[in-house]
Amino acid sequence: MTIDFKGRVAIVTGAGGGLGREHALALAARGAKVLVNDLGGARDGSGGSSAAALSVVEEIRAAGGEAIANGASVTDFEAVQAMVAETMAHWGRIDILVNNAGILRDKSFAKMDIADFKLVLDVHLMGAVHCCKAVWAIMTEQKYGRIVMTTSSSGLYGNFGQSNYGAAKMALVGLMQTLSLEGAKYDIRVNSLAPTAATRMTESLFPQEFLQALQASDVVPAMLVLASEQAPSRAILCAGAGSFEAANITLTQGIWVGRGDDADEQLAARLTEVRNREAEVVPESGTAQGHLELTKAMSQSKA
């Protein structure tokens, strides 16, 4: 199966360097017209410059592709709307949105300022919300769209010193889950990518020998699959060092204990049964939990 993006238009946020740059270059190399968005700030979100985005655009054009640069902050909804309008004015459609922009403000929760917690949420979560909202009507009208969220193992599984980052990254998975359901009838497929890569965002998290094995370009194949016409929906793909995995949010079969006065004691005594992962499922929607619980309750009432 050949993956190509001829005739497609993509917006990649945070594309001035690291993963975003690799994403933009790869999409363009396979035929997509790409808006390269980057505020040009430091790793912690401070400052700003258009130089990084312009440099990536020059790379794409030098290779024979089409691209334009944009310096909007994803935290500014009006600026994001203007970015989307600029894309439409140039190319008349938007097929792909890769929400890649992000910052780090790492500290243990005890030492973290609330302002730093909110800022990381604002960039990662609300930045993606702003971009999704700005393209949503376009994608529904054209009955086609591919949206890639950038989540993280820090959100899926936790990481010391990254409570703000982890909370934002897990929230993006929740956003993906609902948007994929709401977009299904318009062929809008929404997925998440959890990358492990050596970028300025991760340079302080891994030893140097690990960083050499974690090339940002190794993550790109997963993005290309999730942005392609053949993409799944509601998938969480993990990628790094040439390896690929899938993460899932599952539901165990659990137990029924009823409403007795000792329900809490029964639950405590049987918690291992509740957490038993044998026959666990990946629910198709949030209603699955209630359906499972009602089914167990009704079966007990008939017993």
Catalytically active residues, by annotation: 165
Q: What letter represents residue 222's amino acid? A: A
- What angle do helix axes 127-142 and 163-183 make, rounded to 10 degrees? 10
Q: CB-side exposure of 16: number of CA atoms within 13 Å?
A: 24
Residue where the block lists tokens 């053949």: 230
DSSP secondary structure of 27-66: HHHTT-EEEEE-----TTS----SHHHHHHHHHHHHTT--
CA distances from 27 to 67, 221, 228, 237, 262 (A): 10, 10, 10, 18, 58
Token pair listed for 155: 């959100």
